[in-house]
Amino acid sequence: MDRDQSASENLLDQENKLIAEILAGFRAIIRAGTDRVDNTASTGQAAFNTMAMEIHMNGLIKSTEDLLGLTRQLRELWVVGPLKKPGEGDDEAQQVIKDDASQYFATLNGMRRAERLKETADQHGSMQYREGPLQGNPMTPSMQMAGRP
């Protein structure tokens, strides 16, 4: 479902058609229900009016269900947004993931640097500290097996 002008006009046209169908069905039910049945009318005419009311009522129910389905579709478009085509927006999503990852690694590098500077200051020079960027998983396979961070 696109959110371009023609699609929204199409949905609004559908809504207007369904509302017109509901009003026409209601008018037909009222006409069939208020037809005068005088003493010259046959039982066939009364049965026809009853059957016409049932048919118009079924049409009214169908139009109302269609209108409810359309309003649900409009709500979904309003809340969730239109559906994207396959592959659409993948580059943007990858860029967002890369930006988030770079921010995460920058924060992690800053925390590591601060902790190591603190440790080297506490040890009175017994440790050497070399600074470098963190790339990938900071744990080596030997550390993972030992269960150490």
CB 149 within 8 A of CB 139: yes
Give 84's DSSP letter: P
Mean pLDDT of 52-61: 93
SS3 132: coil
Give 3's DSSP letter: -
Q: Which residue has the higher pLDDT, 42 or 110?
A: 110
pLDDT at 101: 92
CB 62 within 8 A of CB 24: no
Query: Is the pLDDT assigned to residue 1 strictly greater than 50?
Result: no
Q: Helix-strand-coil percent breakdown of the chain, rounded to 5?
A: 70, 0, 30
- Closest among 85, 77, 84 to 12, alpha carbons compared: 77
Q: Alpha carbon 25 to chain centroid distance? A: 33
Six-digit token pair at 44? 């066939």
Mean pLDDT of the chain, nearest integer: 80
Six-digit token pair at 82? 């239109």
Query: Is the pLDDT assigned to residue 41 strictly greater than 60?
Result: yes
Query: Is the pLDDT assigned to residue 2 strictly greater than 50?
Result: no
Neighbours of 21 (CB within 10 A): 17
Which residues make Cβ contacts (< 8 Å) with residue 93, sequence separation at least 6?
A: none
H-helix segments, the chain: 5-34, 43-79, 90-122, 141-146
Confidence of residue 36 (pLDDT cuts 50, 70, 90): confident
